[in-house]
Structure 1
Amino acid sequence: MSGRVAVFAPSPELTVTVEELDGTPDIHIHAGGQGVWMSRMIESLGAEVVLCAALGGETGQVLRHLIGVELKARDVAARNGGYVHDRRDGGRDQVVRMPADPLSRHELDDLYEMTLVEALDAGVAVLSGPAAEDTPVPDSVYERLATDLGGNGCRVVVDLSGARLAAALAGGPEVVKVSHEELLADGFAASDALPDLVDGCRKLAESGAAGAIVVSRAAEETLAWLDGKLYLVEVPELSPVDTRGGGDSMTAGLAAGLALGKSLEDSLKLGAAAGAVNVTRHGLGTGSGDVVRELVERVRLRPWEDS
């Protein structure tokens, strides 16, 4: 294996967060979005990563300097989105949000071609989405990428929901990561009860997911379908600081494990450990690779039949 992962993140976001430090406002400016957070975690776990994205407008100009991992970017006229959050009272109050602009046909073609080249060279690809309400690229892009990459030997991991997930499933990805809320919202499960989520995994498998389906369940044990066998994933209990981003870190660990030549089972353990570490931190897609690797030894896969 090349030890390299290509992450498709069509439109990263510029994030501005206002916190309080010693009684005065403290402003933080970062690159954000699912693909950016995943890429940071993949790199921290020892795999090489390349982020494939479109950058445009003033937000795109700033993002180019903030992403922090290897970047392959298509310069576009379409603006990247962004938001301003006020966290001085401990919550996340959204002050303003600017949605991403849709890419033109030629911009989309160039981004697709660039992603195809990078992902085939890497051997492992993660297909991530922009914010749910943004539509910089049509959903059909995810089906095309999953089909073209998987059909040419690239191992495809998707972390999507809604119409994007449905499109990607039609392309037959190897690994699908969803949250239990997404499984419910997309109609695969009747409730968040474990037997219903198990049925949801089976329905997902029938919809095109090939090797593995991983369902994160917030503070509960992750449910995993690996090559037709069901497991509950037990991780060490850690005190949470911010639960946002735990699922993205899990996906990053899965992809990093595959890139480093690990089995699906060991990649899942790495992902579970990465997700567990992320919720102990304020940043999304953060965590020391050394801590994650230490926790991996404490992750257990319990067969569903033993539950």
Structure 2
Amino acid sequence: MFAPSPLLTVTIEKAPSGSTELHVHPGGQGFWIGRMASILGMDVHLCGPFGGESGGILVDLIGREGITVHPVSSASDNGSYVHDRRGGEREVVVEVEPPTLTRHETDDLFSASLGAGMSADVAIIGGPHCDDAVPTELYTRLCADLSALKIPVVADLSGPTLTAALEGGVSLLKVSHEDLIEDGRAASEDLDDLIAAMHSLHKEGAGSVVISRAADPAIALHDGGVWEVEAPPVQSVDHRGAGDSMTAGLAVGYADGLPFEQALRLGAAAGAVNVTRRGLATGQRHSIEKMTENVQVRRLEKDHT
């Protein structure tokens, strides 16, 4: 699990008794994907930079989640945030952006990630918390080298890092429709526009593509076929983390050698269970596996090619 921006998160919650609760957890896209992958039974090895007081706390907290950490020493503290949810919505109290890694720290992160990847069934590539956390060319080199070593690469990216990863090549790309539109890769949220974007992403270097569409069914491109993936309409407590959970489910399916349709079901089920809970990329394995029975995967009949 390539995690360039591990975060220390503090969330203030209202307890059932009316008192105040303080929750301290690891965060960042790489960790959230890794945690759900671990919940689903994957032996997760997370590679990321850690430094200062927040970095030391993070290494310990991530290890408690059953994830093996390959820490790269950083001279600066990790990014962090404090959110207040006592009013029902997240209110940002303070956010500390992660530092830009130095050249030596970047080299160490690349080496640690490549080394862990060579021993893995699948390499998962997460995005940075901010654009300047790591050089975008790191994504090109890492994806290209892992692909050359025949290691499947599953990526959940957007913006410049997405473009860079495609240059190196990825086995499976998961991206949200909002990010595609914001990046100018899709003209609109219209289904035909999103399908056209999937074909373009495939031509640029993605073997298969999955686009999450918030509450609407996800769509996927695989072996020239277009698929629609619909999870049951469960009540949402917090939608944040659903996309990362989906990516984790897809990666676990890929590592386990599941047929593509089953991997889609597992990814959609992980995302659906996540939104029923507070806490990003959380859930119980049994619930997720049962939820897969309620996910519908359909081949779109219309010829969009």
Normalised to the residue count of structure 2, the TM-score between the two structures is 0.95
Larger RCO, structures 1/2 (Cα 8 Å, 6+ apart): 1
Secondary structure, counterpart of 1:46 in structure 2: coil
Secondary structure, counterpart of 1:177 in structure 2: strand
**Take 2:122 and 2:210, find their aligned partners in 1: how far apart are those partners?**
17
How far apart are 1:208 and its partner, in Å? Answer: 1.3
**Take 2:151 and 2:59, find their aligned partners in 1: how far apart are those partners?**
27
Cα contact 1:125–1:155 (8 A) shared by 2? yes
Cα contact 1:100–1:135 (8 A) shared by 2? no
How far apart are 1:303 and its partner, in Å? Answer: 1.3
Paired residue for 2:104, among 103, 106, 111?
106
Secondary structure, counterpart of 2:291 in structure 1: helix
How far apart are 1:236 and its partner, in Å? Answer: 1.9
* AA partner of residue 240 (structure 1): S
Q: Which residue of 2 aligns with 1:19?
A: 13
How far apart are 1:24 and its partner, in Å? Answer: 2.4
Cα contact 2:128–2:134 (8 A) shared by 1? no
Q: Which residue of 1 aligns with 2:227?
A: 231
* AA partner of residue 47 (structure 1): M
Q: Which residue of 2 aligns with 1:61?
A: 56
**Take 2:189 and 2:225, find their aligned partners in 1: how far apart are those partners?**
20
How far apart are 1:134 and its partner, in Å? Answer: 4.9
Matched, 1:40 2:35: yes
* AA partner of residue 246 (structure 1): A
Cα contact 1:99–1:134 (8 A) shared by 2? no
Secondary structure, counterpart of 2:162 in structure 1: helix
**Take 2:42 and 2:99, find their aligned partners in 1: how far apart are those partners?**
31
**Take 2:12 and 2:156, find their aligned partners in 1: how far apart are those partners?**
28
Q: Which residue of 1 aligns with 2:215?
A: 219
Secondary structure, counterpart of 2:263 in structure 1: helix
* AA partner of residue 152 (structure 2): R
Cα contact 2:5–2:48 (8 A) shared by 1? yes
Q: Which residue of 2 aligns with 1:188?
A: 185
Secondary structure, counterpart of 2:61 in structure 1: coil
How far apart are 1:111 and its partner, in Å? Answer: 1.2
How far apart are 1:136 and its partner, in Å? Answer: 2.2
**Take 2:5 and 2:244, find their aligned partners in 1: how far apart are those partners?**
16
Secondary structure, counterpart of 2:73 in structure 1: strand
Q: Which residue of 2 aligns with 1:3?
A: none
Q: Which residue of 2 aligns with 1:10?
A: 4
Q: Which residue of 2 aligns with 1:124?
A: 122
* AA partner of residue 13 (structure 1): L
* AA partner of residue 90 (structure 1): G
Number of corresponding residues: 299
* AA partner of residue 102 (structure 1): T
Cα contact 2:3–2:29 (8 A) shared by 1? yes
**Take 1:82 and 1:134, find their aligned partners in 2: how far apart are those partners?**
16
Unaligned 5+ segments in structure 2 are none
